[in-house]
Amino acid sequence: MLAITLGLILPKPAGAQPAPEPAAPAPAAAPPAALPPETPPELPAASAEPAPATPPPAAEPVAPPPPAAAETPAPEPPPAPLSVHTWGHIGSRLQSFKDPKKMDRLRQDGDLELHFDGAIDSKIGMTGNIAAVYGPSATGGDPQGTLAILDLIARFDIDDAFHIWVGRMLVPSDRANFSGFWFAAPWYYAGTFSPHGFIGPAEGPYGRNDGTTLWGQLEGGLFKYYVSAFNLYDGTTSPLWSGRLNLSLINPEPGYYHSSTYYGKDILAIAIGGQAQANGSVQGMPATGTAPKKDDYYEFNADVLFEKDLHDAGVIDLEGAVYKYMGDYQYFDLSYLLLASYMTADKLGPGKLQPLVRFQQGVPKKGDSDSSIEAQLGYVIEAYSARLALGFQHTTVATAAGSQGGNALYLGVQVMK
C-alpha cells in the first residue's frame, strides 16, 4: 500500500570570601570595630609595647575568585517543521479467482499513502496519514478503490517514559501490526491469507482503531509498554482494551513503532500482549430477525525477533509469534507464524538479495486448519525506501467441501520518500 504520514507529533551564588588577615595588630587606642558577617575571628588586644620601627611587609592580598556564573536553562529546541512523506506499494499476483490452484489470471493492487507530521513544541504534536488503496473485488471484476484516513493522532509526549496519544492510530497488539508490510521483509501482511477473516488480534481497518494509548520507554527503548482503549467511535459497544510489553535485550527499539526487519541491526526482542472486550466475541451469521449471540473476548500473544549482523557474512533474521483466542464465537482457537530470512553482505547491482521463508497457520476450534507457506526473494536497494519482492505462496484453507489448495506467484515494488 502507499501511505502518507503527517505528524504533529534551568543559580549558584558565589560564596562570600573572608577578608585577608591584617599584617599587624590594631593600635590600643582604637576601639574594636563591629565585625561584618563572615570576617576573621576577633583579634587579641594590642600590647603596651611600642610598635616596631619597621613594620613587616603587608601580606599580599589575594584576589577572590570570580563569582560562579549563574546556571541558565538550556534553550528549548524549536519544534520540528511539518514533514510530508509519500509511500507506495504496488503488487501483481498471478492466480485464478475461480480456481485458486491455477495461476492463469493476473491481478494488481496498490496502496498510496501521504504522511504528515508536525509539532507545536517539544511535547505536543500531531500526525495525520491518508491512504488511497485500489485492487480487485473479492470475486474479480472492476477495480475497487478507497480513500481513507489512516491516522489522526494528537500526541502529548510529556516524558520519555510517559506519552499519551489520542485519536486514530495503530493498535499496539503485536509486532506484525507495528510493522505492517512497509517495515517487514515479507510482501504480504501477516494473517491475511484466510477466507475466514484476518488471523490475529482485534484491530480495525488498516490495523487502526479510534482510541487512546498510554505508552512509554525506558533506556531509550530497551523496554516499552503500551496500555490502550479502543473502539471509542461506537458508544454502544464496550471498549477494546489492548496492551503490550516489549523488551529488547541487545539494542533498543526507540519510539512508538517496531519493525520486523532492520537490515543489519543486532537485536533480540521479546514481547507479550493481550486484549479484552466485554461482549466482544460475536456470533458470525445470526439467523434473520434474531440478535447475534455474544460472549467476552480475550486474546493473548507473544512474539520474538532475533536479527544478527554477521558483517561480511550478511544478516540473518528469525521471527516467531503465537496467538491464543478466547470467546465462544471466535473462529480460531490458536494461530502462529515462523519466519527465517538472510540478506547478503555484498550488493548485486544497486541492491542486496534477501531470500526468506514464512509459515503461518490458523487452527480453528473445529474443522481443518488454514495455512500459508511462502518462499520469497527480496531485492533491497535502500532498506524500506526502495525494495522489490518476487515470491510464491501456497495456501491450504478449509471450505465446506474440505480443504482447498491455492497457488500464487507475486511481484511487488515498494518506494518511500
3-state secondary structure 75-130: CCCCCCCCEEEEEEEEEEEECCCCCCCCCCCEEEEEEEEEEEEEECCCCEEEEEEE
User: Residue 176 is inside which H or E element, if any?
Assistant: helix 175-179
d(CA 105, CA 96): 5
Q: Which three cell numbers stand for residue 172?
A: 499496539
Rounded alpha-carbon distances, angstroms, from residue 229 to 76, 89, 225: 32, 30, 14
Quickly list DSSP for 260-271.
S--SS--EEEEE
What structural domains and CATH numbers belong to the chain?
1-9+78-154 (no CATH), 160-416 (2.40.160)
At residue 5, what are phi and psi to the nearest 5 degrees? -115, 135
Q: Which residue has the cell 528549548?
A: 76
Angle at 357 between CA 251 and CA 261, to 5 degrees: 25
On whether the CB atoms of residues 29 and 12 are closer than 8 A, the answer is no
Q: Residue 64 has what pLDDT?
A: 59
At residue 312, what are phi and psi to the nearest 5 degrees? -65, -10
On whether the CB atoms of residues 371 and 396 are closer than 8 A, the answer is yes
Mean per-residue pLDDT for 137-166? 88
* Amino acid letter, residue 3: A
State the pLDDT confidence band at 13, using cuts at 50, 70 and 90. very low
A 10 A CB-CB count for 26 gives 13
DSSP code for 171: -
Mean per-residue pLDDT for 28-57? 42
d(CA 250, CA 256): 18
pLDDT tens-digit series, residues 267-319: 999 999 999 999 999 987 776 678 889 999 999 999 999 999 999 999 999 99
On whether the CB atoms of residues 8 and 127 are closer than 8 A, the answer is yes
DSSP code for 48: S
Counting residues of the chain whose pLDDT is more than 70, the rounded percentage is 79
Mean per-residue pLDDT for 167-171? 98
Rounded alpha-carbon distances, angstroms, from residue 173 to 122, 229, 230, 330, 390: 27, 12, 11, 17, 29
Rounded alpha-carbon distances, angstroms, from residue 200 to 213, 257, 321, 406: 20, 18, 10, 21
State the pLDDT confidence band at 81, using cuts at 50, 70 and 90. confident
Question: Residue 295: which of 276, 321, 322 has the closest Cα?
Answer: 276
The maximal CA–CA distance of the chain, rounded, in angstroms, is 128
Question: Residue 120: which of 167, 152, 80, 164 has the closest Cα?
Answer: 80
pLDDT tens-digit series, residues 318-360: 999 999 999 999 999 999 999 999 999 999 999 999 999 999 9
d(CA 18, CA 42): 13
Q: Which residue has the higher pLDDT, 403 or 142?
A: 403
Q: Which three cell numbers stand for residue 99?
A: 480456481
- CA torsion sign for 388, 83, 117, 10 is positive
Predicted TM-score (pTM) above 0.85: no
Q: Left, alpha or beta for 69 (phi > 0: left; psi -120 to 50: alpha)?
A: beta
Rounded alpha-carbon distances, angstroms, from residue 341 to 198, 238, 319, 376: 24, 40, 9, 9
State the pLDDT confidence band at 23, using cuts at 50, 70 and 90. very low
Residue 40 confidence (pLDDT) above 60: no
Q: Which residue has the cell 582604637?
A: 30
Residue 265 confidence (pLDDT) above 90: yes
d(CA 60, CA 69): 27
Residue 30 confidence (pLDDT) above 70: no
Mean per-residue pLDDT for 42-60? 45
Q: Which three cell numbers stand for residue 163?
A: 506519552
Residue 39 confidence (pLDDT) above 60: no
User: Residue 213 is inside which H or E element, if any?
Assistant: strand 208-218
Could you tell me how many residues make up the chain? 417
pLDDT tens-digit series, residues 194-245: 999 999 999 999 999 999 999 999 999 999 999 999 999 988 899 999 999 9
Residue 53 confidence (pLDDT) above 70: no
On whether the CB atoms of residues 389 and 378 are closer than 8 A, the answer is yes
On whether the CB atoms of residues 204 and 241 are closer than 8 A, the answer is no
